[in-house]
């Protein structure tokens, strides 16, 4: 599914509306499903935003591990999960709008 994703957190901290203004959404192909999480050593539901311009699976954003759907309606949804950064695992929330 082709979507636009707006990040609602930076380094685990909630962004206020002013911080979100002027930041364009990320556009890509949304894929949500179960995958083996090597760090956790178990299967987990993961959300990925893939580059639509390539046929290979290139992530635009860091994958959300242990992804959960918070709500969905009117071609929009909210996903939350854990984003792995180089320095730490942090909470992340995606505001997703279908193209």
93 close to 20: Cβ distance less than 8 angstroms: no
Q: How many domains does the chain have?
A: 1
For residues 20 and 13, is the Cβ–Cβ distance under 8 A?
A: no
CATH for 58:
2.30.29
Q: What is the pTM of this model?
A: 0.91
| DSSP bridge pairs for 5 | 26, 96
Domain with 81 in it? 2-98
SS3 of the chain: helix, strand, coil, percent, to 5:
5, 60, 35
pLDDT of residue 1: 86
Higher-confidence residue of 22 and 88: namely 88
pLDDT tens-place string over residues 31-90: 999 999 888 889 999 999 999 998 889 999 999 999 999 999 999 999 999 999 888 999
């Amino acid at each position: 599914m082709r979507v636009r994703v707006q990040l609602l957190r930076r380094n685990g901290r909630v962004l206020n509306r002013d911080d979100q203004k002027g930041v364009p959404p990320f556009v890509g192909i949304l894929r949500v499903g179960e995958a083996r999480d090597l760090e956790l050593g178990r299967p987990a539901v993961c959300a990925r935003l893939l580059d639509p311009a390539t046929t290979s699976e290139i992530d635009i954003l860091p994958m959300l591990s242990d992804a959960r759907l918070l709500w969905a309606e009117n071609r929009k949804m909210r996903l939350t999960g854990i984003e792995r950064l180089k320095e730490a695992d942090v909470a992340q929330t995606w505001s997703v709008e279908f193209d």
